[in-house]
Structure formats: structure tokens, C-alpha cells
Amino acid sequence: MKEALNIEGVVENVIYHNEDNGFTVFALSEAGKNDKNIICTGSLPRLSIGETVKLRGFFVNNRKYGIQLSVDYIEKNAPTTIQGIEKYLGSGVIKGIGERLAKRIVEAFGERTLTVIDETPERLAEVKGITLEKAAGIGSVFHEQFDLRRAVLFLQDYGISPTFAQRVYKRFREATQEIVKSNPYILAEEITGIGFKTADAIAARVGMPFDSPHRVKAGLKYILSQAVTNGHVYLPKQVLLDDTAELLRLSHDLVETAFIELSMERQLVAETQPDTVAVYQNAFFYAENYVAKKLADLVCVAPGKHINAHMDISRNISRIEAETGVALAADQKRAVEEALKSGVLVITGGPGTGKTTTINAIIKLMWEYGLKIELAAPTGRAAKRMSETTGMDAKTIHRLLEISCMSDDPRRQTFSRNEDNPIETDVIIIDESSMVDILLMHHLLKAVAPGTRLILVGDVDQLPSVGPGNVLRDIIDSGRVDVARLTEIFRQAQESAIVMNAHRINHGKYPALNDKNKDFFFIKRCTADETEQTIVQLVTQRLPGYMGCDMFSDIQVLTPTRKSAIGVSSLNTDLQRCMNPPSSGKREKEYRNLIFREGDKVMQIKNNYSVTWRAENSAGRVLDEGVGVFNGDQGCITEINEEDEYMTVKFDDDRVVKYGFSQLDELELSFAVTVHKAQGSEYKVVVIPIHSGPPMLMSKNLLYTAVTRAKNLVVIVGTEEMLKRMIANNRETQRYTLLAARIKKIMEEKF
């Protein structure tokens, strides 16, 4: 392991500085040496020519720019010599001071120049060309720069990088040091990317007592937020108290005291239920209650445009069957009839049961009745597929709602479409509804006007949403909303081993594996290494030859785990090496432990509601523009620009996004992705490694979801033993949610 170097010198030139992430390239003249300047790089507070700095870092060999010092710590001092001060001010560090004015200021005040600017900036008006107003402005800028520098250096001592330090300063300004010393846990609540553990380490270093109320309250909030990350809407009080006491290594009495204070301060909601006390973050409590009430209202309020004649509906269904040559099954006909009569309808069914055919019949009839329809889905990929199968424009739910306030925290999002400005339509059809979490459903329902028909379409047997809640299943389980279950597998679908085996898996039966199958294969491999090697061969050689498919756009590896030998990280490394190897014509960017390369498949792994995108045609003409890229969106790296510090990704729905290098933590390679991340997506070919993993992951539910992502071919690679264990594992993801009970209670009160 290399030993860090400590170097002191003067900043001779600032070659590049990115305001967003602090990435800086500068030339340093090392003290006591007359050698050529050292080129230094790092995420640093803004530097100015003439400043004296102490650095700590490592020399690295950049393929394009040669030997550089990669800086991980910097300590800055203002210049003290007349020459240094003049150079410093003349560098443009303070807006309005150029080289000539800097020379006049230094001639007037000499070595006390910076002291004058700091303590008595009004004296600058003594210099020709500087008014009192300009003098005050120079002093203000100088103080702000000083406060930023002091904050960055202060936070750096506590292990916070300059990039995050600048975010902290932008949020708290001159109060940064006071806030961090008094209650560093505020950082975990207010600054995206700084978590409880970082704040806890800072608290220990500033001497905060181990049993400080600030620490205990932060621990409770952290456990509750982790529960949300794991899909829960609330936590039982006892679970929350036990987990917090274990995390903090404190007594239950101290934790319960802090819990009571948080409840009294209304920073959380504790609601007594028949068998527990449910503890919520405020946003989720209000969201769950609102969703239950609004669904009950939509069920009870007659649709705005009535369709009363039952026989008329039946006749029209028969006519549509004759016109299209498609005979609907009995459960499909019932779904169409209920869609025209109900305020809220859930249509659920597995692969091959005709959900798309049913939706198209509903759309055709509703058009004929003069109803206006809006189609949407949770992801761009799902919306695109919905557009292709219906022939209508389908939007993401976020786009349908016209998101207006973007935030990394979904609790702080706002949309232009809401109760005061609802969606102007008669019918809203949402596909892939199993992916919709409680907050997104809350925002959607706020924009649904009374009398609007709402149709939720999805496969309830798939994995629940990545976000908190189990909304589709809860609505069905409430027993108070009309549900049309599509169960008949159509004859054409019966010819697909993918469809038939998916249903077998869902019913706990082993898939049929024989040589007659053309679209479902199992390849036995005993070890994780053999499994991984086989998958690489399949993706890069065997499947493109067998199927005539493209290994980038048509094949997707879906794995249950992230960190095992056949998890996302390991598979992506091997697949990248074989599918998109290094070459002189492909630029790269190393970020943390990842190497991004032009041509790589990548996936967005968190919602970003503020990033801008554009859609272009092949000639580069902009067809559409907007904001927002969402968890699970996939694309390809088309450009890496080291000079301007950005990477361009073209997503599957043709949106093009530029990511600053500070945003690269939002992306990961996606030659292989987890099954959870593939929800709502469909691929021509799916390859699934199955070897080992924890029971909570290796379940029938997960295997079923993976298999149903494939359109033309499924290949499972691994051991028969694990395949059988997954099919036998009926453990569904259990989530703490009370939506079903709330819907039931409200509906009982209404009738």
C-alpha cells in the first residue's frame, strides 16, 4: 500500500474548477524547490493563485495527462508576501478585482492588504476606482470565501470530503461549525449522502455524550428510515425500540424516553392498533391514510360519465370480438364490463392470461362511449411497452402528474397535478401497478378527480415495489375494491414454456424441462465459478449465435443477489471485460471502485427528479425535453468527457442525460442487475444464475418475477437443489403496512 505524501507549496495556476463537485486541477510550486510545477487534482474548495497550501495525497499516472498528485487533504493559508497578495487578488478570486486594481490596492496597504479587506473593507474606497459600495461588496465576497474555506477545512477534519463539505456549507452557511458541534446528527437528516453512521462518528469526535438525547433521537429516526428503505411503511413500536437500543448499545429506558419526546414533538406518529403500536414517519402516515380514504371515495362515488345499459355493454363486447377476431375469455369479459361500471378496478393476472388484450378492449369501448383516457406506468420502459401494445401515448406516472418540485427525498416532491389541479380525463389506466409504492400512489390519487375511473393493472404475484408499501396486494386484500382476476392461459401462450413454467413456479411446482422446449432451458453447474463462466459464454457467444440476438440490447442477466460470487458486482466485472473490453477508442472514468467505459450498459439506481434530459432523432434534432430519471432506468454510455467532467448516457427510451462526475454514484453497470431492479421491464432473453443465497431472497416469488421478465427465452444456470429450494420457499416479502385494514375500516363506516 502506497504511503501518503505531505507537500507544501504555492498555487501557481488553477487549470480547472467544477463548482458543482469541487473537482479541481491546479499547478503547485513546491516550497524550497525550483523544479517544474506539480499538477494536482482532487475535490477541493476553490483555490486561488498565490495561496500557500499543505497537501496530502498520492502520485498517480493518468493515462491522458501523465503523473499527477491526487489530493485527499488540503490546508490553505492566505499569502503573506506583497508579491503573493498581489498575485492572489489579481487572479480573479474576488469579482471586480483584476490585475491592475490588485496592484493599486497592494500599493496602498502593503502586507496589511488582506487584513484591511477582512476587518475594515470600507478603507478600500481610498483606492482610486473603488466606491464605498464596491468596497463593501469586496469585503462581503472575501468573508464568504473565508467562511466556506473554514467550513470545508473544519469538516475535512471529521472525515467529510470537500464535495459533501460544500453541500453542508450551502445548507447551513456561517452556522456550519456551530451546528456540527452542537448536533451533528442534523447532517444525516438534511444532507443527502451523509448517513447516521457518519454523523455518529463526528459526534464521538466532538465529544458528544454517548447517551445524548440528540444521539438517541437520531438513532430512532435512523432505524425508522432503514425500515422504509426495506419496504415497510411503519414499524411496531417494540421492534423500533429494540433495534434502536441494540444499535446504540443503550438501555430501553433511555430509548423510550427519546421516543416519547419525538412523539410529543410530532416528529413521528405512534398509532395504537388492536395488536401493536404502529410508528410512522409523518409523511408515510398521512400518505397511507389518504390513499385509503381516496380509494374508498372513488369506489363509492359513481363515475362522472355513466354507462348504465348492461346489455349494451355485452353487445358491444361481442361486436368488438367480431371486428378484431379475438374471442375474450369469460374473466376478460367480466373485466371489461367492470371497467366500464366501477369507480376503481384492479385487473390482475400472470403471463399469457390476456391483460394486454383486455386493456385494448377496454380502451376501444371507452373511446366509443366518448370517454377520455390517460395511460401511465411507473417506469419509462414500462410506459414505452404500454404505448407499443395499445397504440396510445403512455407516460410515466411522474410525467402524468407533471412533477414540479424535484428532491432526492420522495417525501418532499410536489406535482403540478393535485387536488386543486386534477388530471383532466375520464379514465386513468395504470400498468405494472405492483411497482407503485405508497408515496407515489398518494400523489397519483391526489390528482384523480372525483368521478374519474381508475384501473390498476398488474401481476400481484410479482415482487412488491422497491419503495415502501405493498399497495396492489393491500388493495386486493382489503376485499372492498372490485378485482378482476385473469386466470385462463390462452392457447397461443400455452405453447410457450416461459408462460407455462412461470405458472408452475407460481403454484410451487418444478418447471417442465425437456428437449422440446425452445424457449426455456436449465443448465446444470455445480460451483459458483462454473456458473459465472457459463453465463459469460452464454451472453457473449452461445445465445447470440443460437438466437441471432444482440448481446447488449436483447440479453439481460438477472441475479438474486448483489455481493455473492454470482451477484451483480462480480458478474458485471466479468461481463464488462468480455462484452466491452478496454480499447484506445473508448474513454474511461474510474469512480470509486467502478470503471465506466464508453459503450457500457448502465442503470440509474436512485430517483433523480431534477436532472434534465432531451430526446433526439438520428440527426441530432431535439424532439422532446424534460426532467427526471428514475430508479431502474437503463441505458448506454455514449460519451465520457474528462475535460468538462461529464458522462453522457442514452437511455432505452431515447432520453439523453449528461451526468457531472459528482453524480456518478447514481449509476452502476447493468450487464447484470438484480431481479428487484428489473421489475416492470421486459427483455427478449433473460439469463438467471441460481446457486446460493439467503432464504429471504431465494424465494418462489423472486424466481417467478425473474422468469416473467423474459419475452422469448429463459436460461437458468446453477444447481437443481437451489432451484427446488426456491420453488418450495413460499416466503413472500412481509411488509409492515396497514393500508388494507384502513380501506376496510373506512368502507365499513361508509355503509
- In whole angstroms, how large is the CA radius of gyration of the chain? 30
- 309: pLDDT strictly greater than 60: no
Structural contact between residues 704 and 505, judged by C-beta atoms closer than 8 angstroms: yes
- 310: pLDDT strictly greater than 60: no
Confidence of residue 308 (pLDDT cuts 50, 70, 90): low
Q: Average pLDDT of 553-567?
A: 90
Confidence of residue 80 (pLDDT cuts 50, 70, 90): confident
Q: Tell me which residue of 381, 379, 383, 337 sits closest to 358, measured CA to CA.
A: 337
Q: Average pLDDT of 579-599?
A: 89
**107-116, 422-431, 732-741: which has the highest mean pLDDT?**
422-431
- 697: pLDDT strictly greater than 90: no
Residues in contact with 550: Cβ distance below 8 Å, sequence separation at least 6, in sequence order: 544
| Cα–Cα dist 677/687, whole Å | 15
pLDDT of residue 175: 82
Question: Which amino acid, one-letter code, is at 703?
Answer: L
Q: Average pLDDT of 665-686?
A: 91
pLDDT top residue among 474 and 382: 474
- 547: pLDDT strictly greater than 70: yes
Long-range interactions of 220-225: CB distance < 8 A, separation 24+:
220/244, 220/255, 220/258, 220/259, 220/262, 220/268, 221/189, 221/262, 221/267, 221/268, 221/281, 222/188, 222/195, 222/196, 222/247, 223/247, 224/268, 224/279, 224/280, 224/281, 225/281
**Grid cell digits, residue 447:** 390528482
Q: Average pLDDT of 740-747?
A: 95
- 408: pLDDT strictly greater than 70: no
pLDDT top residue among 630 and 333: 333
Q: CA neighbours within 13 Å on the CB side: how many for 307? A: 23
- 167: pLDDT strictly greater than 80: no
Structural contact between residues 494 and 329, judged by C-beta atoms closer than 8 angstroms: no
Confidence of residue 529 (pLDDT cuts 50, 70, 90): very high
pLDDT top residue among 128 and 474: 474
Average pLDDT over the chain reads 88
pLDDT of residue 84: 79
Report the share of the chain in percent with pLDDT over 90: 51
pLDDT per position as a tens digit, 415-428: 889 999 999 999 99
pLDDT of residue 90: 80
pLDDT top residue among 51 and 96: 51
- 440: pLDDT strictly greater than 90: yes
| Cα–Cα dist 503/493, whole Å | 11
pLDDT of residue 139: 87
pLDDT per position as a tens digit, 171-219: 888 788 888 888 888 888 887 778 888 888 888 888 889 999 999 999 9
Q: Average pLDDT of 456-478?
A: 94
pLDDT of residue 368: 86
Q: Which residues pair with 58 in a beta bridge?
A: 70
Question: Which amino acid, one-letter code, is at 357?
Answer: T
Q: Average pLDDT of 452-462?
A: 94
Structural contact between residues 235 and 736, judged by C-beta atoms closer than 8 angstroms: yes
pLDDT of residue 515: 66
Buried b (16+ CB within 10 A) or exposed e, 277-298: ebbbbebbbebbbbbbebbbbb
Burial-class residue 544 by CB neighbours within 10 Å (0-12, 13-18, 19+).
Answer: middle
- 372: pLDDT strictly greater than 80: yes
- 541: pLDDT strictly greater than 80: yes
Q: Tell me which residue of 105, 132, 129 sits closest to 116, measured CA to CA.
A: 105
| Cα–Cα dist 698/717, whole Å | 14
Question: Which amino acid, one-letter code, is at 492?
Answer: Q
pLDDT of residue 304: 67
Residues in contact with 20: Cβ distance below 8 Å, sequence separation at least 6, in sequence order: 660, 662
| Cα–Cα dist 727/414, whole Å | 41
Q: Average pLDDT of 586-604?
A: 90
pLDDT of residue 437: 95
pLDDT of residue 199: 87
pLDDT of residue 407: 54
Q: Average pLDDT of 687-709?
A: 90
pLDDT of residue 723: 94
Confidence of residue 484 (pLDDT cuts 50, 70, 90): very high
- 1: pLDDT strictly greater than 80: no
Q: Average pLDDT of 402-421?
A: 74
Confidence of residue 336 (pLDDT cuts 50, 70, 90): very high
Helix (H) or strand (E) run with residue 347 in it: strand 344-349
| Cα–Cα dist 375/392, whole Å | 8
**73-82, 494-503, 707-716: which has the highest mean pLDDT?**
707-716
Q: What angle do CA 610, 232, 557 make, to 5 degrees?
A: 65
- 442: pLDDT strictly greater than 70: yes
Report the share of the chain in percent with pLDDT over 70: 94
* HEC letters along 163-194: HHHHHHHHHHHHHHHHHHHHCCHHHHHHCCCC
